[in-house]
Amino acid sequence: MRLPDTQVALLEAASATETKTVAQLADELGEDPAAVTRAAFELKEEGLLDVEEHVAEEVALTEEGDRYRDEGLPERRLYEAALEVGADERPAPIGRLVGAADLDGEAVDIALTNLARKGLGEIDDGAVLVDPDAGDDPEAEALSAVAEGSTGYLDSGVLDRLESRGLLERTETTVRSVTLSDDGVTVLMEGVEAAETVGQVTPELLTSGEWADVEFADYNVEADAGTVAGGREHILRRTANRVKDVLVGMGFREMEGPHADAEFWINDCLFMPQDHPARTHWDQFGLEVPPMESVPEDLLERVEDAHRNGVGEDGDGYHSPWTPEVAKQVDLRGHTTSLSMRHLSGFAAGELEPPQRYFSVEKVYRNDTLDPTHLLEFFQIEGWVMAEELSVRDLMGTFTEFYEQFGITDLEFKPHYNPYTEPSFELFGEHPETGELIEIGNSGIFREEVLSPLGVDGDVMAWGLALERLLMLMYGFEDIRDVHGTLCDLELLRNVEVVH
């Protein structure tokens, strides 16, 4: 029989009576384990080898575990120091014991918690009283056993405990063992011939005509292969692109504009008084850069007038201080409604005719406290529709249509307040895992005080939705930091299926 050379080598190295692991054989043959695995499965196909698989657990000490094996577990050191000073009869102050046991920093907490947990002693009023008959310490014994590689007889509860203390790590690997089958033995006795196999067709093989005589290696498409984690578009980016496609499909055009912008576009155009908490309510990041002089003078004057005197017959304005200096100060935008303002000003400039629909999916910056649903920056899905006459029903209908494309059909609306819209609504959706209602956006119909200086004659409904929250509803993430930033879960990002 003629077989590829790796298979012949493997057949000859395998035994009918002794089971050998692939790792052993790879070692013996000086071959790559993946190549031996491949050959083993090929021979199994031919009925010449038996291959058995089982999952083996490997246990190894972490760096901290290894240190404790050398120095002793902190709680044992504290316990022994306590015995030494007679704290089995009279409580001894923690400070003294910590010094005697030479513990510091984190080790002190570790020692105290575990001392109490293991019942080695009691801690009361800053002093420790230990039990002289506390007996053996299975955790300390297990540390040594793991280090010596003899984990077979260890209690899995003790290993769990050490694992949760971060002192050891368990990993699972698939071990494949190989034995020669009866047919394998027969074939070997009859004699096998090694054929040099070619894995890849080369130009030389083709031009020389040699390809016709060589033996090509078979591909085993079922064999395990290493995972290649190559680059991949982040799901946040993919979802952002999908959002863009959906909105374009709904007749919207995309807006662009600066991340660092004048407060004029971020706040003043939105009828947020300069001395109102609303100005800090975004907790924006101010930049130490020269003021933005490109703000159009005539618009600046109209906005100032709206702030000072209001708009329309009943308008009253804020009667509060207003200066162009504040308006020209540059901040990182806390919302992309600044882009909506920039684009809506196209009406006054005669560049836009009604009706119009615009959107952006862009980053915004807020000085929030980091938590599972808040980041210092996130993507906002901004949008606005300008038409002759619009109502809350148009707004709700637009959201229903939009979110339906992402499989979200249980939207809830809550009345809300924004200085620039009236009425205003917050949007909520149900988290698929926790069932909790989470806020996914904010919206409303712009006030006259916003629209009039911008030269808009008609109605404008607008919104800012959080892209990350949409992602949470689509994929069931509970912590936004799984997908964003330095704490992100790489495994999840690599493996998550993109919903289409």
Binding residues for ligand PHE, rule: CB under 6 A, are 335, 337, 418, 421, 442-444, 462-464
Q: For residues 147 and 21, is the Cβ–Cβ distance under 8 A?
A: no
Q: How far is the CB of 356 from ligand PHE (least distance, A)?
A: 15
Please, what is the minimum distance in Å from the beta carbon of residue 462 to ligand PHE?
A: 4
What is the distance between the alpha carbons of residues 12 and 328, in angstroms, rounded to a whole number? 82
Per DSSP, the three-state class of 493 is helix
Query: Do residues 22 and 33 lie in contact, with contact meaning Cβ atoms separated by under 8 Å?
Result: yes
Cβ 175 vs Cβ 56: under 8 Å = yes
The smaller minimum CB distance to ligand PHE, of residues 333 and 484, is found at 333
Nearest distance from residue 325's CB to ligand PHE, in Å? Answer: 24
- For residue 446, the minimal CB distance to ligand PHE (Å) is 7
For residues 420 and 460, the answer to whether their CB atoms sit within 8 Å is no
Least distance (Å) between residue 246 CB and ligand PHE: 18
CA angle, 194 then 196 then 199, to 5°? 135
- Residue 172 near residue 153, CB atoms below 8 Å: no
Q: DSSP for 258-295, please give it.
A: -SEEEHHHHTGGGT--TTSHHHHTT--EE--S---TTS
Which residue number, 4 or 383, has a Cβ lying nearer to ligand PHE? Answer: 383
Q: Which residue, 151 or 337, is less far from ligand PHE as judged by CB?
A: 337
| CA–CA gap between residue 112 and residue 117 (Å, rounded) | 9
Between 102 and 283, name the residue whose CB sits nearer to ligand PHE. Answer: 283
Q: Which is nearer to ligand PHE, 114 or 340 (CB)?
A: 340
Q: What six digits make up the tokens of 13?
A: 């190295």
Instruction: Report how far residue 258's alpha carbon sits from residue 480's, in angstroms, rounded to the nearest whole number.
Output: 25
As measured in angstroms, the least distance from the Cβ of 306 to ligand PHE is 17
Residue 471 beta carbon to ligand PHE: minimum distance, rounded to whole angstroms: 17
Nearest residue (CB) to ligand PHE, 121 versus 419 = 419
Rounded Cα–Cα distance for residues 322 and 331 (Å):
17
Which is closer to ligand PHE, CB of 6 or CB of 421? 421
